[in-house]
Amino acid sequence: MTANHSAGATLSCAGSVLDLSTPIVMGVLNITPDSFSDGGRWLSDGRPDLDALRREAVAMVSAGAKILDLGGESTRPGAAPVSEQEELDRVVPVFETLKNETDAVLSLDSSSPAVMRAAAAAGAGLLNDVRALQRHNALEIAAELSLPVCLMHMQGAPDTMQQAPEYQDVVTEVKLFLADRAVACMGAGIARSQIVIDPGFCFGKTLEHNLALLAQLERFGDLGFPVMAGLSRKSLIVKITGRDLDDRLPGSLALAMLAAQRGASILRVHDVAETADVLRVLQAAEGARIS
Ligand code: 7PM
């Protein structure tokens, strides 16, 4: 049974309303030179390749993506920090271009308040922060922008988070962190209905930690917020299957199915069409069981 705790939930994203009563797909467009899976694909000479991004965005939306996640800072392990100006130069032109190209919600993957403000002005409909709005002024700016926010858990920082991740009880600790950040958001004036939470797979987690979070993903639904899961092409697939980067699709699809069955409302993925088919099969199979 798909334990969708956000059944009936919707997310109001700057004029677009997302129906979260069944799991939806968020397509990933990393506008960075070094993101682990599509690094540099959307940049040429360090600048966004707007034609290539336009084509990919249209393709992702026609394949079923309801949200596109655009980020200018690679947050994979060991990633080099990027200046705020570089992040702005990468993402703002892309929002300005894509907002007229598709009716998908455009999500900003950033922790920088200045980038959030600029992206909102350029068409962002969702703020996705891997640091859960902990940077100075991030809470206040997010509240001022009145956009929905995704709060993700990360232990440590991208350049060191995978060296020695350690928890007493990873699920309880991650859940408590997200509950705490959600309370901080509501205290800053962000409506409860505008908050999404995300356990942050591979952000300061070993394979065992990631598998425990996936096994107990339904516990995050108890907090009453829609859950986002980003498992696509991540390192846990390599550790389980031994596959290299170009062959992580089967593992990614299996993880997407499991996350959806365990209550995830938003699946953050690189392979949109394939994941959309997985969700169609899941919903048909669950529908058969229910009826
Ligand atoms: C390691 C490998 C770290 C890949 C990060 C990545 C998430 C995200 C990213 C996630 C939310 C990549 C990702 N992952 N935002 N941004 N949840 N909310 O695809 O799991 O490069 S970055």
Is-catalytic flag, 181?
no
pLDDT of residue 35: 61
Q: Domains (ranges, CATH) in the chain?
A: 10-290 (3.20.20.20)
Q: Is 142 in the pocket of ligand 1 (CB under 6 A)?
A: no
Which residue of 30, 133, 181, 203 sits with most ligand 1 atoms within 8 Å of its CB, as the best mutation to test the pocket?
Answer: 203
pLDDT tens for each residue of 74-110: 888 877 789 999 999 999 999 999 999 999 999 999 9
pLDDT confidence of residue 1: 41
Q: What is the pLDDT of residue 155?
A: 97
Instruction: Tell me, in angstroms, the distance from the centre of ligand 1 to residue 68's CA.
Output: 13
* Cβ(27) – ligand 1 distance below 6 Å: no
Q: Is 268 a catalytic residue?
A: yes
Q: Are 280 and 24 in contact (CB under 8 A)?
A: no
Q: Mean pLDDT in each 10-residue stretch from start to end of the chain (291 residues)?
A: 59 95 97 75 90 97 98 86 95 98 97 98 98 98 98 94 96 98 98 98 98 98 98 96 93 98 98 98 90 65
What distances in angstroms separate CA 151 from CA 37, 148, 184, one per listed residue? Answer: 22, 10, 11
Identity of the amino acid at 269: V
Q: Whose CA is nearest to atom 3 of ligand 1?
A: 76
What's the pLDDT score for residue 21? 96
Q: What is the pLDDT of residue 7?
A: 52
Task: Name 147's Cβ contacts closer than 8 Å, sequence gap at least 6.
Answer: 13, 14, 120, 124, 125, 126, 127, 194
pLDDT of 34 reads: 72
